[in-house]
Amino acid sequence: MNIRFFLKEPKLAKETMLYITATIGGKRMKRSIGVRVKPSNWTGIKVKTLARDSAAQNLKIENASKILKEIEREYLLQGIPLSKEIVEKEFDQRINPEKEKVQKSFIEVFNDFILSCKPTKSENTIKTYNTCKRHLSKFSHEKKISLNFENIDMSFYDDLLAYFLSNNFLNTTISKYIKVLKTFMKWSNERGYHNNMICNRFRTFKEDSEKIKISAEIVEKLRMTDFEDEYKNIVKDLFILSCYTGLRFSDIQSMKEDNVSSDFLKIHIKKTREVLEIPLLDVPKKIIERHMEKYGRLKVPTNQFCNREIKKMFEKIEFDDNVEFTKHSGKKNIVIEKKACDFVTMHYGRTFFVTNSLVNGMNEETIRKITGHKDYKSFKKYVQFSKEMISESLLKAWGN
């Protein structure tokens, strides 16, 4: 038996997974042993002494090697020929006997994955993970395809894709769930549940989602309208606050009085876990002051309530033309037609901030300093120029 160790990504600067392999009769067994090490701290046979947790890591390495040698010796003494399958079974039982006793199902491990993500992921991300899990379970039940780690191959991908398309899932939605599945498979692989990473070959659709365009004039009309209802006016305030600061609804929810100074809003952003300092214009400053004076805090109803009410308010200010978008499910076109107001959510305030800032001459880098976008790929999703904006810009540039 030829025993070797190798790093999953030997060119990384940060820690990567260490694997042990054993070659038997030309076939190779590969297993993770729960060791992560920086390539610079790996000698080829052990972790360097000065590396973090080197003693514990080297103990795991020695133990894994010892187990394989014991298996080889025992079967040799008994005169029983070894195979890759025998070594895998024996190794898995001995490296973690408690885990072998209590085998978790695919869905049970998925539940553990979701639970482990709750402290670091947003509420919406966790909802997406749960929804993806439900769709996988429904797919498994309807198509009589077993959900286990060994089954997640290209045939599984083809069947899952066909299931999504037969139910008219949009390409953007399919891509979202495929990405979740790949994230889960990587997470469970790193924790020793499987060694199947065929999912790295799963493709996702690349499509930019269309959005309605909200002009500065319609935002101003909303701001100046008194809806003669306390909660409607509160929702209006929150939307306008987002339009003038670029804040997400979740960050508006968490805002406190001590986040506000005379000219800046200093706030910890939940999604990216960073602190941003946002310059305060007069409009958002007055909204915050009014709420503090009247309620002693920024009064924020639930996101669901606000999304429901903001649609009604945009309809009242006559932002209600019919809008038609063409989306895709595989190669099939799906036409979605609704009133413009029915597309509006509270998140459109952030979209408006990005677009209007660009229209008014701010450069992308400065806007990203305020919004917290790390790269252009995520930033560009918020840029929504209307045909009128593009026309005006063209005429201005060409001197008409």
- Tell me the three state secondary structure of residue 153: coil
Nearest to 60 by CA among 124, 5, 131, 10: 5
DSSP category for residue 200: G
The CA distance from 65 to 4, in Å, is 9
Torsion, Cα 55 61 62 65, to 10 degrees, reads 180
Question: Given this model, what pLDDT does residue 97 score?
Answer: 61
Torsion, Cα 257 259 265 269, to 10 degrees, reads -130
Q: Which two tokens stand for residue 26?
A: 């030309």
The CA distance from 267 to 333, in Å, is 42
For 215-228, the pLDDT digits (tens) are: 999 999 999 999 99
- The angle at the Cα of 212, spanning 379 to 161, to the nearest 5 degrees, equals 75
Q: Which two tokens stand for residue 262?
A: 């005379």
In this structure, the chain runs to a length of: 400
Radius of gyration over every alpha carbon of the chain, rounded to an integer in angstroms: 28
The CA distance from 54 to 58, in Å, is 6
Low-confidence ranges of the chain (pLDDT < 70): 97-102, 207-210, 376-377, 382-394, 397, 399-400
What is the dotted CATH code of the domain comprising 216-397?
1.10.443.10
Question: Given this model, what pLDDT does residue 108 score?
Answer: 93
Question: Given this model, what pLDDT does residue 100 score?
Answer: 47
Domain positions in the chain are 2-101, 106-201, 216-397
CA distances (Å), origin 86, targets 22, 82, 92, 119: 12, 6, 10, 40
- Tell me the three state secondary structure of residue 386: coil
Give Cα 331 distance to the centre of its chain: 25
Question: Given this model, what pLDDT does residue 206 score?
Answer: 75
Whether the pTM exceeds 0.85: the reply is no
